[in-house]
Amino acid sequence: MEYIIAIGTNIDREKNIKFALKRLKEEFKILAVSSLYETSPYGYRNQPNFYNMLVKISTTLQPEEVLEKLQAIEQEAGRERRIKWGPRSLDLDIVLWSGGKIKTERLTIPHYDIKNRLFFILPLLEIEGDIELDGENLFYLANRLLPYQGIKKIDFPRV
């Protein structure tokens, strides 16, 4: 199965992006890596900008098992959950899954807010092309969000 994993950090950004890529490569087969983007905070605004990117992985694990591994990697990076959408050393989210949709108490795929976050849409365009999300293509969503969300591509070595 294939998954699109979002990586986000605004604490020790370069160190935590490198750590996340290294750990994801150890746990899963990496199929594609997006560019790295610097983004304005989403939700809680009184914090530093984030680094965000997407990674496409392949694994035989089911979604809940992938979530467990991602949360373990977050904990290794010192993730603390104090403020919703607040500062974090590492945030790893399952954005999409080749198995389609899932909604459990712990997990919703596609990500519940995927269509409103440019830091998901632009990297997803790179990895998957102009696919549709619930009847709206990524190019349309990007054009809708670009005027409202600060985002800048960052030079960063790929996996």
Contact 53, 34 (CB under 8 A): yes
**The total number of residues written for the chain in this structure:** 159
d(CA 12, CA 14): 6
158 catalytic residue (yes or no): no
130 catalytic residue (yes or no): no
79 catalytic residue (yes or no): yes
Q: Which of 13, 23, 45, 91 is catalytic?
A: 91
H runs (alpha helix) in the chain: 13-27, 63-76, 118-128, 138-145
Q: Which of 79, 130, 134, 144 is catalytic?
A: 79
3-state secondary structure of 150: coil
Half-sphere exposure (Cβ direction) of 101: Cα atoms closer than 13 Å = 5
91 catalytic residue (yes or no): yes
Q: Which of 13, 23, 93, 117 is catalytic?
A: 93
Active site amino acids: 79, 88, 91, 93
